[in-house]
A and B are shown apart, each in its own frame.
Chain A
Amino acid sequence: MSEPSLAIRKFSDLANPTRFLALVSTVWPWLAGLTLCLFAIGLYLSFTGLGDYQQGETVRIMYVHVPAAWLSMMCYTVMALSALGTLVWRHPLADVSAKAAAPIGACFTLVALITGSLWGKPMWGTWWVWDARLTSVFVLFLMYLGLIALNRAMDDPTRAAKVSAVLILVGFVNIPIIKFSVEWWNTLHQPASVIRMDGPTIDPAFLWPLLVMAIAFTMLFFTLHILAMRNEILRRRIAVLRRHAARSAGDAA
């Protein structure tokens, strides 16, 4: 059997929620352990490294602010891929993935906003400005809250999945706006210094702790995402069982 067809088969196997739950049970303790190890190394590097010659000790805020900001965008990208999975491939777990990712994305965005504000005050002299980067990230936060509210407001899960998927894909336009806002407009927020066409401009002494923390945050996201997906699958099973029980009670009466 050729490799692509094997990959497709494995992907299709995951469409079975029972198989997915078995996989989560095996994988999550390893992912959680790896996440804890990476955070231990990342935090050690973050607090033992030197302060910046201009920003002083506040440069250490970067090690939580930047990974949280990256994850806020990555989480939405995962949701957009899941939305495609719902609308194009009708993968049974695609909607579960999008729904489970929304609260996690909202939390990472909140961390990015709070730590950004706490970094802005000593460096810019203000907690907040309505520049393009800060405003577009704030809009992302509101979009996460809107999607969570929408999913909770609609009773029919199939309809909620389709409406959410369309809204997620429409809202995805905000992700390139966030990324390029610092280049397209004059912003108080600095331009990108790590993910650039000409390579990172940040000193390796700051880059390594930042990368380790970014990987730790990414592992945290994947760990929480599969666990939240497991919870969502159980929630849907409970809803189905309750419906069956109500129908059986109705038939018996």
Chain B
Amino acid sequence: MSHAFYVTASYVAAFAVTFGLVLWVWLDHRGRHRELQRLEAAGIRRRSARSEDAR
């Protein structure tokens, strides 16, 4: 195998792992944000959020 193969494989692997990590952080945020919105829409809110509304 040529040196180009090892260099390319290294950068592809580094990109794939990094991209996977970024994707996981983004999807995790989207999921948690939606879940929080669903709970708040159902009337389940934090005490601090309720007191902010009352002010």
Which A residues fall within an 8 A CB radius of B?
A: 18, 56-58, 60-61, 64-65, 68, 103-104, 107, 110-111, 114-115, 118-119, 121-122, 220, 224, 227-228, 230-231, 234-235, 237-238, 240-242, 244-245
Contact = CB atoms under 8 A, between A and B. Distances in A.
Contacts, number: 85
Given A111-B18, A241-B39, A64 B10 contact: yes
B6 A122 contact: yes
A104 B29 contact: no
Contacts of A230: 29
A244 B39 CA distance: 11
B3 A115 contact: no
14 contacts: A18-B48, A61-B7, A61-B10, A65-B10, A111-B13, A118-B10, A121-B6, A228-B28, A230-B29, A234-B29, A234-B36, A241-B45, A245-B39, A245-B44
B13 to A, nearest CB: 5
Chain B contact surface mostly: helix
Could you tell me the dominant secondary structure of chain A's interface residues? helix
Interface in B13-38: 13-14, 17-18, 20-22, 24-25, 28-29, 32-33, 35-36
B55 interface: no
A240 B46 contact: yes
Given A64-B11, A119-B10, A122-B3, A244 B29 contact: no
Contacts of B4: 57
Contacts of B44: 241-242, 244-245
A57 B13 contact: no
A64 B10 CA distance: 8
A25 B43 CA distance: 25
Contacts of B32: 231, 234-235, 238
Given A234-B33, A238-B32, A238-B36, 19 more contacts: A57-B3, A57-B4, A58-B3, A58-B6, A61-B6, A61-B7, A114-B10, A115-B14, A119-B10, A121-B6, A122-B6, A224-B22, A228-B25, A230-B29, A234-B32, A241-B39, A241-B45, A244-B44, A245-B44
